[in-house]
Amino acid sequence: MRDLAYIFVFICFCHCGFAQHYFNGYINTEQWQGDVYLSIIEDYRTLKTIDNEQIISKTSVDHTGFFKFSGNQLDTEHRIYKLHVDNCDVYSQDSNHFNGHCSDSKDILFIAKNTDSISFPLSFDAEMFCDIKSTNLKTSTFIRIDSIKEEMKFAYSEYRSKANRELNNKKWFKTLQDFGIGLNEPLAELYIYTFLSDRSSSFHDYYLKDLEVNTYYDNLLKRLKKTYPNSPYTKQYEAEITSDKFIATPDRDTTTANWMHILSGVLLASLILNFWFIYRDKTKNKKKHLQIKDQLTKQEQKVLDLILQAYSNKEIAGALFVSVSTVKTHVNNIYKKLNVNSRDEIKSLTNNKL
């Protein structure tokens, strides 16, 4: 249908000495602007938000709506990825687009690694009904989970009463948890956990009671540590259940000393996790900046530095004692090597830290 956006994504493994990913597909250009974004989800609490720091790449579509991504940017082990399109105003991205909010956007979440070949023949408005073709059976787990969540919503709405809610809580928590275990993919279980433990949800109180008596959550932590021992997902989950367990059982300890030990442990775990994220982001940004500059010649690096200082082409020519035509050539080369189309995109890419 012309008034429904659809997207087709294909990831292939290229046997050229290293793993290579390639994404392509189509969007409805009558409904969506011409940019498609690929993100890696590093914080599973931000699955549905638009986070500038998680975007790996952006590409534009041609006149038919066709787009493609190519490169070697995906991780070698499973990670959560997202493709999204939106109609946010590109001239005010700092205030809405990359602030986690866009009222007119659609996205697709999936699990992948750098050696997968995946085809997503789906539209943004009918994700759960799509027929995913993949060499990786775990790619479509989120869509399969979403189909169960839809059944769950129907069961809750069929008759609204306290008794019905209590029966449904017990039934669907177990249904989702058992389904997650059967998938044999802890990242898919994190997707379920994020849904069940959402503090804005009407069944969050039941989650806290379940956390107190159900060994499922501790066993999930064991599965995460075994499969993804160094992943930020695992560290985040461990910190969260430690905190939630304390909230769920505040009166279990009989002495102030025990209470303080637990609180200190929660705070310490939170501080360690925050410092780890800060260190990782700084290291990633530093590496990114070095990689960007390594693509340029020494003269192009000088031009780039002056661009970041808001010099015009004429001012750059005067500073480097070259012609304006030569400066334009350097600027065009910089655009091509950094895959940007304007000085503003250069500043956004480098964060003015080069």
Q: Kindly report, residue by residue over 335-352, the tens digit of the pLDDT.
A: 888 777 888 887 776 664
Phi then psi dihedrals of residue 150, to 5 deg? -65, -40
CA 1 to chain centre: 28
What is the full DSSP assignment across 46-74?
GTTS-BGGGEEEEEE--TTSEEEEEES-S
Record the pTM.
0.63
Instruction: Work out whether the CA dihedral 262, 268, 271, 272 comes out positive or negative.
Output: negative
Out of 34-43, 119-128, 188-197, 335-344, pick the least confident.
119-128
How many angstroms separate the CA atoms of 352 and 288, rounded?
Answer: 12
pLDDT value at position 129?
38
Other Cβ atoms closer than 10 A to 179: 16
How many angstroms separate the CA atoms of 153 and 188, rounded?
Answer: 19
Out of 211-220, 244-253, 285-294, 337-346, pick the least confident.
285-294
Q: Which residues pair with 108 in a beta bridge?
A: 83
Phi then psi dihedrals of residue 230, to 5 deg? -110, 15
**Cβ–Cβ < 8 Å for 64, 37:** no
What burial class does residue 64 get, using C-beta atoms within 10 Å of its C-beta: 0-12 exposed, 13-18 middle, 19+ buried? exposed
Do β-strands 21-26 and 35-41 pair in parallel, antiparallel, or remain unpaired? unpaired
pLDDT, tens only, 265-308: 777 777 787 776 676 665 555 555 556 667 788 888 888 888 88
pLDDT value at position 196?
93
Give the helix/strand (H/E) hosting 273.
helix 256-294
Check pLDDT > 90 for residue 214: yes
**Cβ–Cβ < 8 Å for 98, 52:** yes
